[in-house]
Structure 1
Amino acid sequence: MGYRVVVAGATGNVGREMLNILAEREFPLDELAVLASARSQGDEIDFGETGRKYKIQNIEHFDPKGWDMALFAIGSEATAIYAPKFAAAGCTVIDNSSLYRMDPDVPLIVPEVNPEAIDGYKKRNIIANPNCSTAQMVVALKPLHDAAKIKRVVVSTYQSVSGAGKQGMDELFEQSRNIFVGQAVEPRKFTKQIAFNVIPHIDSFLDDGFTKEEWKMVVETKKILDPKIKVVATCVRVPVFVGHSEAINIEFEDEISAKQAQAILREAPGVMLIDKREDGGYVTPIESVGEYATFISRVREDPTVDSGLVLWCVSDNLRKGAALNAVQIAELLGRRHLQKAA
């Protein structure tokens, strides 16, 4: 037997990717419902490359009673309305928005990092998916933290426009085209021109000068990995369609060499180490697109601290940063708590 699964927000970038990944991983489905807003009701959507199509239902009128789990990719405002309704009906919500991430009664899960935390999901019947940039970073940090205990992390991100949704991708495409044909470039989704530019600003500014995206990386890493780790982040939007990159400086309590770190990362779950010290011996965001792994390259020792490493981390933000992690949480939930007889 399989599970009765809902994908809410199925018409967006992340929702479509959730459907693709459920199909690719042959998630055990007895029934699937795809939901979106009223304007998409009745449209059909592909279930990966299976050839099957599903009609989109209006989330406003959907009855979640009797469904096992719902993968939400509908943003915080809609999640605030529908997640409690689904959870109260007995349908476990796996939420991709930021709404519940720091709720002490809601587990924040990256399955390769803190799978045991899912055991607390029954308090609210909601599980949170972390921020895209946090998810890939903690996959890289976890095995190193286990080996040598991380004290401090300094991270600079290079985040693709798909992190801002379809509007962000459309804006990069339109601005690039306009520049080539000599037309005006007007920013709408972003605060400044994104084509052929970088913008050191993601999400809203806080009183201390950091942005909310930077704050998320700090508090989510502490919740997922270890509250004692000190983290500081600078988050930058770059003119890349899909794939987030991060330059990460790590300071450890115990000594660890680059060679030791490479050996650890080579065996770490969810990690693909590609680290040749030669031209092209590293992974760039375009190569991560469509892949499950978090790719690590450029592992080297940091001579400015007693025990430090520097590394380059790349992942498909629509996959590990969102949809893949959500499906992995669903798989974990099924294994640990919702097992059904075959």
Structure 2
Amino acid sequence: MKKVNIAIVGATGIVGRTFLKVLEERKFPIENLYLFSSAKSKGCKLTFRGKEYEVEALTEESFNRDIDIALFSAGGAVSKKFAPIARDNGVIVVDNSSAWRMDKDIPLVIPEVNPEDIKWNNGIIANPNCSTIQSVVPLKVLHDVFKIKRIIFSTYQAVSGSGMGGINDLENGINGGKHKKYPHQIAYNCIPHIDDFMENGYTKEEMKMIDETKKILNDETIKITATTVRVPVKYGHSVSINIEFENPFELEEVFKLLENADGIIVVDDIGINEYPMPLTCSGKDEVFVGRIRRDFSVDNGINMWVVADNIRKGAATNAIQIAELLIKNLK
């Protein structure tokens, strides 16, 4: 596989550091590595494959060099400003923020679901929302066979989804300290409020899941609703998904489809209390599915419980999987 020059924007953040870890684990073919972050992190040293790299401050001139792919995870404002600059310098950007996800001219990609959409990128590819990624991986498998009519998402999202501020709020709360990131104490609590509230009463996080799911599945006819909740867990988002299909199904077929799908591990044996949990899924790249059962309240309905590491598959790993697809097409 051809070696490429990689840049990481937001290198000192949780996802940025995980980019480095996943790139190393997956033996990604890198010729030169460039690390960028905010001015306050300039000069910070990070280690990759036993070599120490100095973090540079991100500027408008940062991409005036031979960079093939840039992995961005520095927030929407940074992405909006610097992703076009990188693109105009011939760099392909894989962006982890919400800045470009719903732009009709920019593909929103999960490699197990819609890898073909990478082909029409114009220099920027969007990484979906963390909860959307882990939900759509199993949804796609079932949608292809049974056609989904309606989805109800209920999420239980880890504090690491809010960066170090969320983790600090949880740790401080457990130790009797004050919260700073969230509007309420997260320790020993659940907060049904992720991102800003909108005029329709939903939060931006909830609307992200609704809109992104339709875009990735390329189906605007699916009816979707969502409630997203922050819970006192460090790593690993959990999503309860209720699905109503157009077509009838046998539960055994649902299990078989999920068990044979790429990127999915079925953990479902209630006889011995086996089901996915954040604690056992943390640090892994797969999407874990369990508690699969028929919803008897509707025709052709099921419930399932989906768990994944939100920093890995929900962010860093998915972006690097996109980059792996890209390098196959680089000359």
Q: Same fold (TM over 0.5)?
A: yes
Match of 1:234 among 227, 235, 242: 227
Structure 1: how far apart are the matches of 2:44 and 2:152? 45
SS state of the match for residue 310, structure 1? strand
Give the structure-2-normalised TM-score.
0.97
- CA-atom RMSD in angstroms: 1.1
Letter in 1 for 2:53: Y
Indicate if the aligned counterparts of 1:148 and 1:254 stay in contact, CA closer than 8 A.
yes
Letter in 2 for 1:24: E
Indicate if the aligned counterparts of 1:7 and 1:35 stay in contact, CA closer than 8 A.
yes
Match of 1:218 among 210, 214, 217: 210
Give the structure-1-normalised TM-score.
0.94
Indicate if the aligned counterparts of 1:272 and 1:295 stay in contact, CA closer than 8 A.
yes
Partner of 1:56: 55
Q: Deviations over 1:109-161 (max 9, x none)?
A: 00100111111102xx1000000000000001011111111111001000000
Letter in 2 for 1:153: I
Structure 1: how far apart are the matches of 2:277 and 2:162? 20
Partner of 1:181: none
Partner of 1:29: 30
Structure 2: how far apart are the matches of 1:256 and 1:175? 46
Give the count of matched residue pairs: 328
Indicate if the aligned counterparts of 1:8 and 1:72 stay in contact, CA closer than 8 A.
yes
Q: Deviations over 1:277-336 (max 9, x none)?
A: 22431110011111010000110001011101100000000011100000001011122x
Aligned pairs for 1:174-253 (under 5 A) are: 174-178=172-176, 185-225=177-217, 226-253=219-246
Structure 2: how far apart are the matches of 1:204 and 1:254? 36
Moved beyond 6 Å, runs of 4+: none
Aligned pairs for 1:1-342 (under 5 A) are: 1-47=2-48, 50-60=49-59, 61-122=61-122, 125-178=123-176, 185-225=177-217, 226-335=219-328, 337-338=329-330, 340=331
Indicate if the aligned counterparts of 2:169 and 2:178 stay in contact, CA closer than 8 A.
no
Greater CA drift, 56-65 or 31-40: 56-65
Letter in 1 for 2:113: V
SS state of the match for residue 53, structure 2? strand
How much has 1:41 moved relative to structure 2?
1.5
Q: Deviations over 1:194-240 (max 9, x none)?
A: 00000000000111111100000000000001222111000000000
Indicate if the aligned counterparts of 1:64 and 1:91 stay in contact, CA closer than 8 A.
no
Indicate if the aligned counterparts of 2:148 and 2:246 stay in contact, CA closer than 8 A.
yes
Letter in 2 for 1:160: A
Letter in 2 for 1:9: G
Structure 1: how far apart are the matches of 2:65 and 2:33? 14
Structure 1: how far apart are the matches of 2:6 and 2:38? 18
Query: Could you tell me the percent identity over the aligned residues?
Result: 47
